[in-house]
């Protein structure tokens, strides 16, 4: 039964055009439309998109299927023709990596349905959809938070060793005390930390908790010199 997934509904590829019946052609068209809609849904998941591109992406498997049928099942000729079509689309409008990947996904589905490998097209689309879902929902490929410089002013009589560790540990994924200096004629100390936040948007909550521990003295948080150089 599993071997039937890798079999064409047209029989042999050498006699593709002669073997295409109206029923088989319409069946392939139905699969192309359905799988094209799935390709478009995979592209739209947690991604900015336009209606024009999504509709085009959904129709692309159907178009590729027709091209493959017209070139008598010749994959080389079909890919060459579709390559020209895609060059026209990306010649003047820059596409993102996901745009290009989605176009290739839709083309691959169209190639499979155009050759009659409907089960293979369904299996391939399902695998890509699941892998895309896995990558999008997990931290895979997520950029790290830029490094930040935290300066905390404390009274000279405060034993600072370990005082802020619990608070900073909740908000910072990486943390290092890099400098301790005196200020205000020696009446205050300034602790300088290099840290990397666990998530963006937690800065205010962290500073509010630190203010309760340092007597509401000055606290500053900014980017490290290394992080500024990357901007």
Residue 12 lies in a domain: no
Is there a contact between 10 and 24 (Cβ–Cβ < 8 Å)? yes
Give the number of domains in the chain: 2
119 and 176: one domain? no
Domain closes at, from 137, 171, 186: 137
b or e along 129-167 (b: 16 or more beta carbons within 10 Å of the residue's beta carbon)? beebeeeeeeeeeeeebebbbbbbbbeeeeebeebbeeb
Residue 132 lies in a domain: yes
Task: Please tell me the pTM assigned to this model.
Answer: 0.59
193 and 87: one domain? no
Instruction: Please report, for residues 4, 55, 58, 88, 231, the alpha-carbon distance to residue 62 in angstroms, rounded to integers and kept in the order given.
Output: 22, 12, 8, 18, 43
pLDDT, mean of residues 200-226: 87
129 and 154: one domain? no
Residue 75 lies in a domain: yes
- Examine the pLDDT at 3 and tell me if it is beyond 70: no
- Placement of tokens 């908790």 in the chain: 209
The pLDDT, as a whole number, for residue 49 is 83
33 and 99: one domain? yes
> Whole domain around residue 104: which residue ranges?
22-137
130 and 170: one domain? no
Q: Which of 201, 59, 218 is nearest to 154 (CA)?
A: 218
Q: Which of 91, 95, 96, 66 is nearest to 81 (CA)?
A: 66
pLDDT band at 10 (very low <50, low <70, confident <90, very high): low
- Examine the pLDDT at 138 and tell me if it is beyond 80: yes
């Amino acid at each position: 039964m599993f071997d039937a997934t890798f079999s064409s509904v047209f029989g042999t590829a050498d006699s593709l055009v002669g073997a295409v019946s109206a029923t088989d052609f319409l069946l392939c068209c139905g699969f192309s439309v359905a799988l094209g809609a799935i390709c478009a849904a995979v592209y739209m998941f947690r991604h900015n998109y336009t209606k024009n591109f999504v509709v085009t992406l959904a129709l692309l498997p159907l178009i590729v299927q027709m091209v493959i049928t017209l070139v008598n099942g010749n994959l080389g000729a079909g890919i060459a023709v579709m390559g020209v079509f895609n060059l026209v689309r990306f010649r003047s409008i820059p596409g993102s990596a996901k745009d290009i990947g989605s176009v290739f996904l839709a083309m691959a589905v169209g190639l499979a349905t155009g050759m009659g490998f409907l089960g293979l097209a369904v299996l391939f689309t399902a695998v890509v959809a699941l892998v895309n879902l896995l990558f999008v929902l997990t931290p895979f490929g997520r950029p790290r938070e830029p490094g930040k410089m935290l300066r905390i002013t404390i009274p000279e009589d405060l034993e600072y060793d370990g005082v802020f560790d619990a608070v900073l540990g909740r908000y910072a994924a990486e943390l290092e005390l890099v400098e301790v200096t005196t200020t205000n004629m020696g009446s205050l100390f300034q602790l300088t930390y290099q840290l990397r936040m666990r998530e963006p948007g937690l800065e205010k909550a962290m500073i509010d908790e630190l203010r309760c521990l340092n007597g509401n003295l000055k606290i500053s948080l900014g980017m490290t010199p290394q992080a500024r150089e990357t901007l």
